[in-house]
């Protein structure tokens, strides 16, 4: 590798000046002449039959251009297609998921009709004039009740169980029979809402002359969205252009194909007018996918020395009312990662996906892996507590040893590399673990409750080998050396905060020897960029960056041929050195990539048989996932009078391999930790028994303000991977995955003197206060 000056440097994000000076273009900033505005009429009930819809009054409003119901689409316009779900499960139940509810609504917020008017205000007013009569049906919200029997979310299925997936490895029964101790615990991983600052936003327009549909959407997957729109709308894919302009946060929630995107596109075609829809925050809470929502019933078998010998696991996952794009796939990732960074050989598991009258769950930062890390890291602490061992030692005892890589896990993944103990030891030394334990002891005597929580996580990302993905797992990059020497990069990934306009330019600047300002990274427009899979699953750099590296290799190989021809040298004797070409061992003559690009453009100075132009498009098919890991340590103090949690310290030592831009990696970790600790302490989507959403605004649903998060102390180790040519592992989700259990373990550790073994998240003050009403052990005072 020729990494020299840019890669590894803390280059400021090139994206930021436009973002922080208000010059960025988000979907709502897209202004097109003649734009009209959509508002959706949504079900106020969790489950109801739609007995009639009267649109007459809304249609008679002079501001209104059109009103469509599910019935209109389905019958009058023959738009019967169902929204896609990507999966490879043989017996998955996939009930129809129409873009506007037909006859029945199954979740609060389900779109029932669309109203289009000349302003967002008149559209909202007119939506209130659509009179929908509902007949309420019994709703089911509780996952276990739903799994057990009626009422059914989809009556025609005769069950609420979408799928069951059993798994077994080794001989768990034998291990349980021979165990010194067994621990059984139900762990609820609560439902959370992604809450990106920018809600779902879209504007569609249709050029009837060209028969061309253009959709601007706040999406993480412009190409996949285009493909799915083509299928659902029955249009040729080459007549659809999807543009993801600036996207204000995705977190997995914009890795989807939403009903609104389809309906707004379709309406734009009917009206031949641009149609804009920016959802409100309340709609975002109702109708954007949610994350997590699993009941994890866990049984652990262990030896007295802390060795864990077997796991039994039942994952009951809430699908919501319908499948969205990856709904059923998420809990299968939980099962895949059920052993974390430990060498568990005996696992019996079952995943059950269950429909309820709630919004669909789907990918939310971490997507299935945080749930696994959470119960495993809690289980390690429970084993330690039961056996009166230090949780650090129980981790040490069970780690996959540093010299045991590659390691194939019981669930069939191959971890190519890892070094869990080194990273943990580094964290313990930085935070002075022994000193903290002593301090904890002292404070307990004064009736103060310090808690120390450790989480040693590993996660699977860099999604992924196509064979193991619900759809394509590769990604693409094009590099064009323009005639005047600037370089255009077209990436198939679709960054929306991950900083690849900077990191990709850093890589190109080093490898092709150009100033970073000469490199422009373009993404998110299907008419500009070759097909790419998008940004999710911490794949942007691990897969998209790897494709970029392949394209660099191709450019260099051709440039070398051009230079060799000029110098009448053998191409094998020409090499790139510090970003320039020279004859090996002879620095007297050199040529830049830009100079080679100009020659390639002029076309008359090329070796015979070499085509003009200096550009390359390459695709990278990952041979494996990547497996970043790390140790997070959280220290909290819990107030015995009120149960309030105060952060004392937070340390994360992560290993994502080679760091292209440490500052950007740290930014990803900061945001990840904030979201992870927020699940541990604050967040919870609550529906009542009828499927009414009780946490539908930011007045009820807590996401942390700056003052509610601690100072993050960060460090890292570097264990490169050979899975991709950059030696890097994804870092977008690691912070979320590592932090939730670290915080929960800290809070529960603080409450150990009260005999607390486990409390479900969110660890709200009231729950902690209630647990602290017990008389504390070891003579401490309250």
Partner 1 sequence: MIPAAFDYVRANSVEDALRLLTEHGEDAKLLAGGHSLIPMMKLRLAAPAMLIDIAGIPQLDGITASGGGVTIGALTKHAALAASADLRKHAPALWDAANDLGDPQVRNRGTIGGASAHGDPSADYPAVLQALDATFTLAGKGGTRELRAAEFFLGMFETALGANEMLTRIAFDAAPNSAYVKFHHPASHYAVVGAAVALTLSGGKIASARVAITGIGDAAFRAGGVESALQGVNPNDAAAVKAACAGAARGVQARADTFASASYRSAMADVFAARAVAKAASAR
15 or 684: CB nearest partner 1: 684
Give the nearest distance from C-beta 61 to partner 1 in angstroms. Answer: 12
- The mark string for 711-750 relative to partner 1 (x by CB under 8 A, - otherwise) is ----------------------------------------
**Burial group, residue 667, by CB count within 10 angstroms (0-12, 13-18, 19+):** middle
Nearest alpha carbon to residue 542 among 631, 630, 465: 465
Which of 34, 121, 131, 133: binder of partner 1 (CB under 8 A)? Answer: 121
CA 681 → CA 646, 686, 700, 751, distances in Å?
11, 15, 14, 15
* Contact between 766 and partner 1 per CB under 8 A: yes
Give the nearest distance from C-beta 700 to partner 1 in angstroms. Answer: 6
CA 166 → CA 169, 187, 335, 367, 570, distances in Å?
11, 19, 10, 20, 60
| Cβ atoms of residues 32 and 218 within 8 Å | no
Take residue 240 and report the two structure tokens written for it.
Answer: 């659809």
User: Which range in 227-235, 388-396, 620-628, 636-644 contacts partner 1 by CB under 8 A?
Assistant: 636-644
* Contact between 769 and partner 1 per CB under 8 A: yes
- The mark string for 253-282 relative to partner 1 (x by CB under 8 A, - otherwise) is ---------------------------xxx
193 or 563: CB nearest partner 1: 193
Take residue 402 and report the two structure tokens written for it.
Answer: 């540093």
Nearest alpha carbon to residue 752 among 511, 437, 470, 484: 437
- Give dist(CA 617, CA 628) in Å, integer: 28
- Give dist(CA 534, CA 732) in Å, integer: 14
* Contact between 367 and partner 1 per CB under 8 A: no
Nearest alpha carbon to residue 714 among 665, 765, 642: 665
* Contact between 675 and partner 1 per CB under 8 A: no
User: Which range in 374-382, 421-429, 713-721, 761-769 contacts partner 1 by CB under 8 A?
Assistant: 761-769
Give the nearest distance from C-beta 275 to partner 1 in angstroms. Answer: 16
Give the nearest distance from C-beta 688 to partner 1 in angstroms. Answer: 10
686 or 757: CB nearest partner 1: 686
User: Which range in 117-125, 174-182, 580-588, 646-654 contacts partner 1 by CB under 8 A?
Assistant: 117-125
Give the nearest distance from C-beta 767 to partner 1 in angstroms. Answer: 9
Distance in angstroms between the alpha carbons of the first and the last residue of the chain: 60
2 or 702: CB nearest partner 1: 702
Q: b/e string for 500-534 if b means 16 or more Cβ within 10 A?
A: bbbbbbbbbbbbbbbebebbbbebbbbeebbbbbb
* Rg of the Cα atoms in the chain: 28
* Contact between 125 and partner 1 per CB under 8 A: yes
- Give dist(CA 576, CA 578) in Å, integer: 7
User: Which range in 55-63, 119-127, 515-523, 603-611 contacts partner 1 by CB under 8 A?
Assistant: 119-127
Number of residues binding to partner 1, judged by CB under 8 A: 31
- Give dist(CA 85, CA 467) in Å, integer: 17
**Positions in 679-718 near partner 1 (CB under 8 A):** 681-682, 684, 686, 694-695, 697-705, 708
* Contact between 446 and partner 1 per CB under 8 A: no
Identify each DSSP E strand in 492-570 by its residue range: 519-522
* Contact between 80 and partner 1 per CB under 8 A: no
Contact residues for partner 1, defined by CB under 8 A: 120-121, 124-125, 280-282, 641-642, 644, 681-682, 684, 686, 694-695, 697-705, 708, 764-766, 769-770
């Amino acid at each position: 590798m020729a990494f020299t000056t840019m890669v590894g440097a803390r280059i400021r994000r090139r994206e930021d000046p436009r973002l922080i000076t208000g010059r960025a273009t988000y979907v709502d900033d897209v202004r097109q002449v003649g734009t009209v505005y959509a508002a959706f009429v949504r079900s106020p009930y969790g489950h109801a039959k739609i007995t009639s819809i009267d649109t007459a009054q809304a249609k008679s409003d002079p501001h209104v251009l059109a009103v469509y119901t599910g019935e209109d689409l389905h019958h009058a316009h023959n738009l019967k297609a169902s929204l896609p779900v990507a999966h490879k499960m043989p017996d998955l139940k996939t009930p129809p998921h129409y873009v506007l509810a037909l006859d029945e609504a199954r979740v609060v917020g389900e779109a029932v009709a669309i109203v289009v008017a000349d302003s967002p205000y008149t559209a909202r007013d007119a939506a209130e004039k659509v009179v929908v009569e509902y007949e309420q049906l019994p709703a089911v919200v509780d996952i276990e009740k739903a799994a057990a029997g009626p009422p059914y979310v989809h009556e025609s299925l005769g069950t609420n169980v979408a799928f069951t997936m059993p798994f077994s490895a080794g001989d768990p029964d034998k291990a349980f029979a021979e165990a010194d101790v067994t621990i059984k615990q139900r762990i609820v991983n609560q439902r959370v809402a992604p809450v990106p600052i920018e809600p779902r936003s879209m504007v569609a327009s249709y050029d009837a002359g060209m028969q061309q549909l253009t959709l601007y959407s706040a999406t993480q997957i412009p190409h996949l969205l285009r493909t799915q729109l083509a299928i659902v709308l029955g249009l040729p894919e080459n007549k659809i252009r999807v543009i993801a302009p600036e996207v204000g946060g995705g977190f997995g929630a914009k890795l989807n194909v939403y009903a609104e995107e389809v309906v707004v596109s379709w309406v734009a075609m009917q009206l031949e007018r641009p149609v804009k829809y920016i959802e409100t925050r309340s709609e975002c809470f109702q109708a954007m996918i949610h994350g997590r929502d699993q009941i994890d019933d866990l049984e652990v078998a262990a030896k007295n020395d802390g060795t864990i010998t077997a796991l039994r696991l039942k994952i009951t996952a809430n699908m919501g009312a319908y499948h969205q794009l990856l709904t059923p796939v998420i809990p299968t990732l939980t099962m895949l990662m059920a052993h974390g960074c430990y060498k568990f050989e005996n696992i019996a598991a079952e995943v059950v996906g269950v429909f309820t009258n709630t919004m669909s769950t789907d990918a939310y930062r971490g997507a299935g892996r945080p749930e696994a890390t959470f119960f495993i890291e809690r289980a390690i602490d429970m084993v330690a507590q039961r056996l009166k061992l230090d949780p650090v030692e129980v981790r040490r005892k069970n780690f996959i040893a540093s010299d045991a890589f590659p390691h194939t896990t019981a669930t069939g993944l191959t971890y190519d590399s890892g070094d869990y103990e080194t990273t943990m030891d580094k964290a313990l030394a930085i935070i002075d673990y022994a000193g903290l334990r002593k301090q904890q002891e002292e404070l307990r005597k004064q009736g103060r409750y310090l808690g120390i929580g450790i989480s040693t996580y590993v996660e699977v990302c860099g999604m992924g080998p196509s064979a193991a993905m619900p759809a394509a797992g590769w990604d693409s990059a094009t590099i064009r050396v323009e005639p005047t020497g600037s370089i255009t990069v077209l990436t198939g990934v679709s960054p929306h905060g991950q900083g690849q306009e900077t990191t990709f330019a850093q890589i190109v600047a080093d490898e092709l020897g150009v100033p970073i300002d000469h490199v422009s990274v373009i993404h998110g427009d299907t008419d500009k960029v070759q097909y790419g899979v998008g940004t999710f699953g911490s794949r942007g750099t691990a897969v998209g960056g790897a494709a970029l590296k392949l394209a660099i290799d191709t450019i260099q190989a051709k440039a070398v041929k051009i230079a060799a021809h000029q110098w009448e040298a053998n191409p094998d004797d020409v090499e790139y050195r510090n970003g320039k070409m020279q004859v090996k061992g002879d620095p007297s003559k050199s040529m830049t990539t830009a100079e080679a690009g100009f020659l390639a453009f002029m076309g008359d100075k090329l070796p015979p048989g070499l085509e003009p132009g200096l550009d390359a498009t390459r695709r990278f098919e990952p041979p494996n996932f990547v497996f970043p890991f790390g140790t997070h340590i959280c220290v909290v103090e819990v107030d015995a009078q009120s149960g309030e949690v105060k952060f004392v310290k937070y340390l994360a030592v992560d290993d994502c391999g080679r760091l292209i831009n440490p500052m950007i990696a740290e930014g990803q970790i900061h945001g990840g930790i904030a979201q992870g600790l927020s699940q541990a302490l604050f967040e919870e989507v609550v529906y009542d028994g009828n499927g009414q959403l009780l946490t539908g605004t930011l007045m009820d649903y807590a996401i942390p303000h700056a003052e509610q998060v601690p100072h993050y102390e960060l460090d890292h180790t570097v264990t490169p991977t050979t899975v991709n040519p950059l030696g890097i592992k994804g870092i977008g989700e690691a912070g979320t995955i590592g932090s939730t259990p670290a915080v929960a373990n800290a809070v529960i550790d603080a409450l150990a003197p009260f005999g607390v073994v486990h409390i479900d998240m969110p660890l709200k003050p009231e729950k902690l206060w209630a647990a602290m009403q017990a008389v504390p052990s070891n003579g401490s005072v309250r």
